Amino acid sequence: MKHSVDGSVVVFANASTPEARNAALDFARRGWFVVLAGASDTTLNELKKYIQMTGGVAHVVPADPKTREGRLRLNYEATAWFGRVDKWIDDARATENETSRNSRWKSLLVVGCAVVALGFIGSRIRQSRSNEPSSDSASTPK
């Protein structure tokens, strides 16, 4: 089995929601270190254990991210434990929407590029055909 290795660090400031749970699992699967904070310690600890059982690393910070003090603590512990914070997610749902919006844009971009490329290739083919000398012209007498 080939394991993902990343070592990047993602912080979920509100990891108690189902969306956050899914996103956290996804990040952990990709080798990110996951820092979890939120309202329910029980939910967070269950999620942490699940991530752990699937071979990931998660760290729960008992802090209320709605307060400035809680956010400072979350940032301090994430940095102290893992050395850095690469991504901070306050609302996993927004991230999910953003992700899906991003992926829609990405799809549109890919399709657009493909259309432009095909059009370009088609025009080149047409152009090269129109430049080919026809057998008629070759036989035209002076």
Partner 1 sequence: MSRHLIRLRPRSDSFYLSKNRTVLATDLHGMVGSFAESGLFVYQTRMLSSYRYFINGQPPRPLALSNVHQNTWMGYYIMAPPGVDPDSRPDFGPGRLIAAQTVEFRVSRFIGDGMHEDIDIKNFAGIPVEFTVEIDLDADFADWGEVHGDRQQRGELEKTWKQIRPSEWELSFTYTAEHQYRKQSEFGIARIDRRLHVVVHNTSSEPGYHNNRITFQIALEPQQPWHVCLNFIPQIEGKKLHPMYGCTSFIAVQDPDEPAQIFLEESASFASADTETLAPMVTATLAQARRDLASLRLNDLDHGVSAWTLAAGLPVYTALFGRDTLTASWQAAMLGSGMMQGTLAELAACAGKEVNDWRDEQPGRMIHQMNTGPLAALNYGPLGRYYGSETTSGFYPFVVSALWHWTGDKDLVRPYVEPALNALRWLDEWSDRNHDGFYEYLTRSSQPTVNQGWKDAADSIVDEDGKIVEPPIATCEEQSFVYVAKLHFSELLWWLGQTDQARKLYGEAMELKKRFNDVFWMEDEGFFAMGLDSKKRQIRSIASNPGHCLATGIVDESLVQRTASRLFSDEMFSGWGIRTLSSAHPAYNPYSYHRGSVWPVEQGTFAIGFARYGLHHYMNLLCRAQFEAAALFDFYRLPELFSGHPRDVAHPFPANYPNANSPQAWSASTVFSMLQAILGLYPYAPLKMLLIDPHLPDWLPDITLRDLRVGDAKVTIRFFRTRSGTTDYHIEDARGSLHVVRQPSPWSLTAGFAERVRDVLASLVH
Catalog residues that contact partner 1 under the rule CB under 8 A.
1-7, 31, 33, 48, 51-61, 73, 76-77, 80-84
Contact 11, 89 (CB under 8 A): yes
Residue whose CB is less far from partner 1, 19 or 71: 71
From the CB of 117, what's the least distance to partner 1, in Å?
27
Residue whose CB is less far from partner 1, 85 or 96: 85
Q: Where does 83-91 have alpha helices with state H?
A: none
Contact 10, 86 (CB under 8 A): yes
From the CB of 7, what's the least distance to partner 1, in Å?
3
Residue whose CB is less far from partner 1, 53 or 138: 53
The CA distances from residue 129 to 60, 113, 118, 133, in Å, are 66, 24, 16, 9
